[in-house]
Structure 1
Amino acid sequence: MTVGLVYDLGSLSPTRQVELARSNGAEPVFIGAATDHVDEMAPYLQHLAEYVEAGPTVEETVERLVNRRLDAVLTFSEHQLRFTAELARALGLSGYSPETLDAVTLKDAQRRRMAAGGIPQPAFCLVSTSDTRPPELKSLAFPVIVKPVRGAGSRNTARAGTRDELTQLIDRFLPDEGALIVEEFLEGRSEVEPWGDYCAIDVLVHRGQVHPLFVSAKFSLSTPFRERGAYGPATPDVLPEYHDVLRLAEATVHALAIDEAVVDMEIKLTPTGPRLIELNGRLGAWVDDLARTAGVCAPGDLAFKVALGLPITPPVYPTTVESLAYQYIVVAPQDRSRVLRVDAPTRLRQLACVDRVTVLKQTGDDVGWELGAGSFLAEVQGRAPSRQVLRNLVHEFELLDWIALD
């Protein structure tokens, strides 16, 4: 078997993708998207496996693959979900239907599909031109969230508390994004730092049945809306709303007519119960590492099995937890925009319960908050015996004594 891996910045490293392809009996072929990230990574991708540069269209990419018989194509990049599904369709392979594809890549289409499926949604409207504003905009209750219709990594996402702030954000983001969704803000339950008021659930959808793979409790967001990582497994003793979260995930999958996939959902934990933030039609960030570190399952492996049509035994999700795997993101403060100096984070690497520290920036890099995930400074991974220990670790992570920012 041969599997085409449409590569771009995403939730699974290229090394892990090659490892999983071959462990499932498939030879990988990277299909490199036309992005700056892929241009930088291309020599490494070519070292790992066969490499084909994607054409400017699906049709031209099919022509470049004419001498290769692919048995499946998949991607772990939010940016390439649409291209991958259209490529699979052109090659006669399985993938998202056109209707489901819109629902997993366009936030406004997703909101409409979920509302039609009976899932409560915040009021929202689409803003797609700088010349006019839709009349629905005036009926939204503040505060509201402004974000791209197509987007990932919290890029160009912010909260507006007044109409003037909303106008400023739309004028700022719309030229880059082309279309924005503005929706009423979901107020989360009260939490103390560093815990977040939302969670994520990654599920295997197999033959229409929904199986939980990993539920990630979240750290609080860095302003305005930048993730700081996750920890888990969030079992019922860690997350009291676990069963309600699972029911909401099942209802969402069925509303979007997903029948064979591994998908990720972010869910707000409100005082009146869990509410869906969004569904992503691919494996979530950090989830494969977290689930394997915690000894729960290997979500990346299951994503390959789904794509290749291999036999699948859904894993059994744990009901209690003895320790917590975590992935913490050190984020640049909102009032900083550039890296002045980077030192080795020796102190962080010597902390108990820390397995790995990965520095993501170098001197001169931009770290403005508008970049979303582009403002991440470092990733810290490990395991902690309790939430109290993890809370103390987060305090150490945030000291920023190894980097200078302007």
Structure 2
Amino acid sequence: MKESVLVIGSGYRHFREYVLRGLAEDFEILLIGPAPLDWQLPYAAAHREADVQDEAAVFAAAADLAVTHRVAGVVTWEESLVTRAAEVAARLGVPAMPVEAARACRDKARQRERFQAAGVPSARFSLAGTEAEAVAAAESLGYPVVVKPRGRAASVGVRIVRTEAELRRTFSRAREVENPSIDDGLVLVEEFLTGPEIAVDSWVLDGRVEPFSIAAKRTDYPPYFEEVAHVVGRVLDPATEARVREVVTAANQALGTDRTVTHTELMLTADGPKVVEVNGRLGGDLIPRLAELAVPGLSVGRVLGAVATGRVPEPAGRPDRLVGIRFLYPTADLTFDEIELPAALAGEPWVHEVRTVSEPGTELRLPPRQFLGRAGYVIAAGAGIEEIDARLTKLAEAAAVRGEPLSA
């Protein structure tokens, strides 16, 4: 008989169906979501509809499910629900991500403090509640600095700042896009790290941290850090990978993450890997799905279910190819209609998938007017990073995002 795993929030179908499907292979899924079942129907054994942002409503739904099902694990892959899932598990008496670890994963400043105390290499930082405090912090750290909200994901609102004038203009913007769960008005000002950026997904159980996916990140739309592409597979040389694994382990242990899959972002600086942040859930942007395509036999849903219920996942193999994703954006703000891609290019054997993710009629704007304003994505495979980057660029340049221009 399958063990029951409580899933809080299912996310968007295009980006999360693969993990729900994998989880359902080995576990009975008890799903709490804000709407009636739709695409989730084949995977959920039981469901309760509740406003997932309402703590009382979520716990009432969880308690109701627990009456007829023995909940063996509690998980979420939605950033805004990481703390809520930990709190629900604690109230149900189900071992899961510790609440304090979940809170640390939702607050980048709290992470920095724990990294500093544990000697985990990371950026120097300061918290600022006013423009004057932000200016003083930047002068102490030395320009350029990075200004960021503390509780957002996917680099939303993160900006490099090179002058005091830019800092003053940026400070209020970082507040405006902050996660509502952080309401003290303090903004993170931190050292600007330089080097290639990578992301590591790991399963964590009883202090053991095992990376299973390493992705090279590509950003654009400076001075912001919009994540536009990722490449997964053997993207690092063995020595660098070994050091990255050490730092990822130390970072997760410093935060006390447990019984989950985490997403750790790092910068490969001249002084070695330094942690940018740890997210208390599996990676977004389909990065774990790319890992499934690159690693024979890997099922991220099954891995997540195993650690959530206190079991060591089955060993995964090593990547046998590189797989990359590139998101498609309009060239200017518009009301989206469709994506056009030449059929000959879309039919190349190395093209794995071309998908539209925005509905016709959706208004798409470029940063900073909108972050993650994506029309769709392309996924391609290849033998080397340079080849993957070239193929993804070719696909993105050939893809035409059509729509009605929006006025300024």
C-alpha displacement of 1:91: 1.2
Please tell me whether the aligned partners of residues 155 and 370 of structure 1 are also in contact (alpha carbons under 8 angstroms): no
CA gap of 1:328–1:395, structure 2 versus 1, over 3 A, is closer
Superposition pairs for residues 101-140 of structure 1, below 5 Å?
A: 101-128=102-129, 135-140=136-141
**From 48, 53, 57, the counterpart of 1:52:** 48
1:287 matched residue in structure 2: 287
Letter aligned with residue 148 of structure 2 = K
Letter aligned with residue 400 of structure 2 = W
More deviation, 16-25/339-348 = 339-348
1:120-166 Cα deviation digits (max 9, x unpaired): 33222223468976854542311111221101122222111111111
CA gap of 1:97–1:369, structure 2 versus 1, over 3 A, is same
C-alpha displacement of 1:13: 4.6
1:399 matched residue in structure 2: 397
1:250-277 Cα deviation digits (max 9, x unpaired): 1112211234332111111112211111
User: How big is the alpha-carbon RMSD for the aligned residues of Structure 1 and Structure 2?
Assistant: 2.9
C-alpha displacement of 1:279: 0.8
Letter aligned with residue 208 of structure 2 = Q
1:48-77 Cα deviation digits (max 9, x unpaired): 534323356433332233332233221011
2:74 matched residue in structure 1: 73
1:337 matched residue in structure 2: 333
Find the aligned partners of 2:159 and 2:376 in 1 and give their Cα distance.
Answer: 22
Letter aligned with residue 22 of structure 1 = A
1:364-391 Cα deviation digits (max 9, x unpaired): 5222313665222321113113334323
SS at match of 1:150: coil
Letter aligned with residue 201 of structure 1 = V
Letter aligned with residue 293 of structure 1 = L
Find the aligned partners of 1:112 and 1:339 in 2 and give their Cα distance.
Answer: 43
**From 345, 349, 355, the counterpart of 2:346:** 349
C-alpha displacement of 1:171: 1.9
**From 313, 316, 328, the counterpart of 2:326:** 328
Please tell me whether the aligned partners of residues 128 and 174 of structure 1 are also in contact (alpha carbons under 8 angstroms): no
Letter aligned with residue 246 of structure 2 = R
SS at match of 1:315: coil
SS at match of 2:394: helix
C-alpha displacement of 1:7: 0.9
SS at match of 2:290: helix
Given the two structures, how large is their TM-score scaled by the length of structure 2? 0.84
More deviation, 91-100/245-254 = 91-100
Find the aligned partners of 2:230 and 2:239 in 1 and give their Cα distance.
Answer: 17
1:182 matched residue in structure 2: 189
Q: Which runs of 5+ in 2 are unaligned?
A: none
Identity level (%) = 23
1:5 matched residue in structure 2: 7
SS at match of 1:399: helix
C-alpha displacement of 1:213: 0.6
1:257 matched residue in structure 2: 256
1:85-120 Cα deviation digits (max 9, x unpaired): 111111111222232122211000000000000123
C-alpha displacement of 1:78: 1.0
1:143 matched residue in structure 2: 144
Letter aligned with residue 143 of structure 1 = P
1:229-251 Cα deviation digits (max 9, x unpaired): 222312554x7621111111111
Find the aligned partners of 2:399 and 2:90 in 1 and give their Cα distance.
Answer: 50
Superposition pairs for residues 5-404 of structure 1, below 5 Å?
A: 5-7=7-9, 9=11, 13-26=15-28, 28-33=29-34, 43-45=38-40, 49=44, 50-55=46-51, 57-69=54-66, 70-128=71-129, 135-177=136-178, 178=183, 179=185, 180-188=187-195, 197-223=196-222, 224-234=224-234, 236-237=236-237, 241-285=240-284, 286-296=286-296, 297-316=298-317, 318=318, 322-332=320-330, 336-339=332-335, 341-347=337-343, 348-361=345-358, 362-370=360-368, 374-404=372-402
**Number of residue equivalences:** 385
Q: Which runs of 5+ in 1 are unaligned?
A: 34-38, 189-196
C-alpha displacement of 1:47: 6.9
Letter aligned with residue 207 of structure 1 = D
Please tell me whether the aligned partners of residues 125 and 183 of structure 1 are also in contact (alpha carbons under 8 angstroms): yes
1:18-39 Cα deviation digits (max 9, x unpaired): 423331132x222125xxxxx5
CA gap of 1:269–1:175, structure 2 versus 1, over 3 A, is same
1:149-190 Cα deviation digits (max 9, x unpaired): 1011222221111111111111223134254312121022xx
Please tell me whether the aligned partners of residues 264 and 284 of structure 1 are also in contact (alpha carbons under 8 angstroms): yes
Letter aligned with residue 167 of structure 1 = R
Please tell me whether the aligned partners of residues 113 and 256 of structure 1 are also in contact (alpha carbons under 8 angstroms): yes
Find the aligned partners of 1:21 and 1:76 in 2 and give their Cα distance.
Answer: 12
Find the aligned partners of 1:20 and 1:294 in 2 and give their Cα distance.
Answer: 16
More deviation, 239-248/155-164 = 239-248
Letter aligned with residue 66 of structure 1 = A
